[in-house]
Amino acid sequence: MSDPAGLRGIIGFVRLHRLKRVFVGTPLPTAQQRHERLGKAIALATFASDALSSVAYATEEILLVLVLAGAAALSYSLPIGIAIALLIAIVVSSYRQTIRAYPKGGGAYIVTKDNLGVFSGLVAAAALLIDYVLTVAVSVAAGVAAVTSALPGLFPYRVGLCLLAVGVIATANLRGIRESGNFFAAPTYLFVGSLLALIGYGAVAAIFDLIPEAPYLPHPPGLEGIGLFLLLRAFASGCAALTGVEAVSDGVPAFKPPEAHNARVVLSWLGATLITLFLGITFLAYDLGITPREHETVISQLARRLVGTGAFYYEIQAVTMLILLLAANTSFADFPRLSFFLARDRFIPRQFGTQGDRLVFSNGILILGGLAAILLVLFRGDTHALIPLYAVGVFISFTLSQASMVRRWFRVRGDRWAWRASLNGVGAFVTGIVMLTIAVTKFVHGAWIVVLLIPTLVAAFMTVRRHYEEVAGQLSLEGFAAPPITNSVLVLVGDLHRGVVKAIQYAQSLSPSAKAVYVEIDPERTHRLEERWGKWGMGAPLIVLTSPYRSLLGPLLDYIDHLKEKGGENHIVTIVVPEFIPARWWQQLLHNQTALLIKGQLLFRKNVVVTDVPYHLKH
């Protein structure tokens, strides 16, 4: 018997292993893990790209809602922007406290599970996992949309470009968190520096009246009639600026020591930068009278209005495109880490808790990339089709996390606990309103998918946990008395050759009463086998099973069941399968796959052990 799939698999693995080394790099020793930690400058680029990229479209999302009430309603963008900036400050302050309270990693899952219970923690985890996948899909689709806007000829290839971008970012993260941080640092800081320069120039121009002000209409007394719901919609849409703020809190273990202190510093940097960029863009859009356009972004209009269409304008567009593409990196940093925590608590498969060759959670990175790629294919790389699914999950996690911190302050008290509880309470209340507003206003446009997915994922988490608990209970040694075991050793024989002789010798080393079993399909072959068996059968008895319907497995399985029934509950049947392995992979195609078929049938049968005995042929 031979297993052609086996050797082909080994050869394919070797080739894949070599290819993996080219793209991912050589394995890193566990002792290197401490040196793979991130300093503050690289950590800001690694964990902040998602949050910082959101300023490229957050103001535009506000204006797109307000313009529904007419041009005069656009003047509300500034107070809404100030309210969102205040919310950013509240959320950042809250997560700084979370990092202090949970210095080993304080993502929404851990904080919520610790304070509100396992179920609430799983809701937060499910919401974040969904949002991380959507962040990758939306960010990549938006970045590719910027490319195809500048180069319309690439539009038909947008899905392929999206998949290429996901592959590049995933590969960079598979190489290790420090290498991916170095890779993404330059574009992130270039984006921040370019926007700060644009905002600074715009502020100076506004102060000295170098640019004409916007032709805003004065607020008529009845303008408030646009409705509270529309203002809430605009506020909720602009809250896209907060996506990714929780990433630093999730990734505390990735920082250099002292981890919690460095994470708090980076989170403060992120909050200050995010507020500055967001308010700067919102103020300039307000002051310059920018109106959202179908084929031009607010950032593009600002840059063109302030500096014209020269080199700096195109540099702004280029770095904006890069930051949108690279915003997916935040999810690639945090999705695997959250998956690790869930795997550690046995809510998802344990494979997600294993570090790969480069000291990163490779399985989480690959799964995230694969799910994002599927979304991009299903939605054909269309940002507008993906946006309605976006941000619901992150605000669910915000609300649960901050409500959990309120519960914690009331439970542990401590220094200034009342002030901290109040701060977290305000954050939970406001983010809860935003969450409900987003869910209601975007429900029919696709948010219902996320609303249904969250309980589905929670149910899946509970099912996995229940399975692991059942397995642990059945494998427990507590109160266990090992019963005596008997064993029947059978060698499957399809012919008589050197490989079979070797298998018989191995079987006899397991049990002196080992037997050979042959399923008769052709009586003439049986006769020839019996003639040779006396000389080469190594003294092992040969059992011939007749098969009137030419089935190999039927008689064999019946015989195995007979032995198990005869031997009792603790009787083991060991099946020894001889195989010869040709020297060349293509030669396997010339032989049958009987061994593979037998192993597949016997794999899930109780008290049956299958052992391969390979015989390797020479060149």
According to the model, what pLDDT value does residue 200 have? 92
The residue with greater pLDDT, 21 or 243, is 243
User: Hey, CA dihedral for 273, 275, 280, 282, is it positive or negative?
Assistant: positive
Q: Which DSSP string do the residues of 48-59 spell out, in sequence order? A: HHHHHHGGGTHH
Give Cα 252 to chain centroid, integer Å.
18
- Report pLDDT digits (tens) over 561-615: 999 888 888 899 999 998 877 777 666 666 566 777 788 888 888 899 999 888 8
pTM of the model: 0.74
Q: How confident is the model at residue 218 (pLDDT cuts 50, 70, 90)?
A: very low
Q: Are strands 608-616 and 571-581 parallel, antiparallel or unpaired?
A: parallel
Q: Which DSSP string do the residues of 87-151 spell out, in sequence order? A: HHHHHHHHHHHHHHH-TT---HHHHHHHHH-HHHHHHHHHHHHHHHHHHHHHHHHHHHHHHHHH-
The arithmetic mean of pLDDT across residues 155-162, rounded, is 87
Q: How many whole angstroms separate alpha carbon 350 and alpha carbon 336?
A: 12
Q: How many whole angstroms separate alpha carbon 378 and alpha carbon 351?
A: 27
Q: Tally Cβ neighbours within 10 Å of residue 415.
A: 6
For the chain, which domains are there?
Answer: 35-105+124-213+240-391 (1.20.1740.10), 486-616 (3.40.50.620)
Q: How confident is the model at residue 222 (pLDDT cuts 50, 70, 90)?
A: very low
> pLDDT at residue 279 above 90?
yes
According to the model, what pLDDT value does residue 388 have? 66
Q: How many whole angstroms separate alpha carbon 175 and alpha carbon 203?
A: 41
Q: How confident is the model at residue 8 (pLDDT cuts 50, 70, 90)?
A: very low
- Report pLDDT digits (tens) over 315-356: 888 888 888 877 777 788 788 888 888 999 999 988 887 765
According to the model, what pLDDT value does residue 360 have? 63
